Amino acid sequence: MAQSPAASPSTFTFRSSDDPILRAQPHRLATALTAHADQKPRERVLLYSLVFALAPRRCLEIGVRWGGGSRIIHAALSDLGAGVLVSIDPEPALEFDWGQIADRATLIRGRSPADLPKCRTVADGLFDFVFVDGDHSEPSVREDLEGLVGVTAPGADILLHDAYHQPVARGIDAVLAAGSSFRDLGMAATTRNEGVRVETGRPLTYGGVRWLRRTTP
Ligand SMILES: C[S@@+](CC[C@H](N)C(=O)[O-])C[C@H]1O[C@@H](n2cnc3c(N)ncnc32)[C@H](O)[C@@H]1O
C-alpha cells in the first residue's frame, strides 16, 4: 500500500498488486451452463464461481459420469491460469474427448476412497478443493470424507453435491459428529429437489451443495 506524501492521513493512493491472478477474467463462465453435468444451473455456477474465487492449486472431483463437473472446474482453473484437477470415477461415461482438458486435468479410472492416494500422487500434493459427487449411499459418503482426511490440506474446501439426499446428509452428519477433521460451513446452494421415484411413486430428495472446511491442526 503506497501513501501519497501530500495526502492527509485519511486519504491515500493504493497501488494495486501486479499479481496477474487478481486480473483474471471469467471468460469461460458459460461452460458452467453448457457442459453436461448432473447439476442444476445454480449449482454449476456455484462450482465455477467458488473455484474461480478461491483459486485452489489442486482440485479433486469424486464422481465424473459425463464429465460436466470436470469441465466446469477446468474452465475456472483455465481462466485463473493456474491449478490442476484430478477426477476419479470407476466407470466414467464421458461425452467428450478428455484430451480437450488434459492440459490441467487428469482422469483416474478408480474408486474413492481406495484410490485417493493415487490421486494425491498425480496432483503432486494435498488437495485444497474437493467436489464430492460419487456414490450417494451413507457408508460411501462417510468413507469418502474419511478418505479425504489423508489427501487434503488444512483449510481445504470440500463441496458435497446432493447434500439434501437423506443418505448423503446422514453420512456427512456422522463424520462431523465423530471427529474434528471438518468444520461445517452449511449449505452453499439451497437447490432442494423434491422429486419422486417414478417406478414406485416414492418421494425422493436430491440437490443441494454442502460446504465443509478441513480444520487446521
Ligand atoms: C452423480 S454422478 C457424477 C456427476 C458429475 N460430478 C457431474 O457434475 O456431472 C456419480 C458418479 O459417481 C461415480 N462413482 C460411484 N462410486 C464411486 C466411487 N467409489 N469413487 C468415485 N466415483 C464413484 C459413478 O460411476 C458416477 O459416474
Cell of residue 125, nine digits: 500434493
pTM of the model: 0.95
Say how many C-beta atoms besides its own lie within 10 A of residue 122's C-beta.
Answer: 15
| Size of the chain in residues | 217
| Helix axes of 41-54 and 68-80: crossing angle, nearest 10 degrees | 30
Class of domain 27-214: alpha beta
The pLDDT value recorded for residue 2 is 47
CB atoms within 10 A of CB 132: 28
Looking at residue 1, its pLDDT comes to 45
Nearest Cα residue to 67 out of 133, 140, 130: 133
Using the 8-state DSSP alphabet, how is residue 56 labeled? -
Query: Which sequence spans correspond to the domains of the chain?
Result: 27-214
Is the beta carbon of 134 within 6 A of some atom in ligand 1?
yes
What distance in angstroms lies between residue 202's CA and the mean position of ligand 1's atoms? Answer: 23
pLDDT of residue 5: 52
Atom of ligand 1 nearest to the CA of 93: 27
Give Cα separations from 157 to 18, 106, 185 (angstroms). Answer: 26, 20, 10
Question: Does the beta carbon of 142 sit less than 6 angstroms from any atom of ligand 1?
Answer: no
Consecutive 10-residue runs of the chain (217 residues): their mean pLDDT? 57 95 97 96 98 98 98 98 98 97 98 98 98 98 98 98 98 96 98 96 97 92
pLDDT at residue 6 in the model:
55
- In this predicted structure, what is the pLDDT of residue 180? 87
The confidence score (pLDDT) of residue 102 equals 98
Comparing C-alpha atoms, which of 144, 207, 134, 147 is closest to residue 171?
144
Please give the distance, rounded to the nearest whole angstrom, from the Cα atom of residue 186 to the centre of ligand 1: 22
* Residue closest by Cα to atom 21 of ligand 1: 89
Cell of 4: 501519497
Instruction: Enter the DSSP assignment of 162.
Output: T
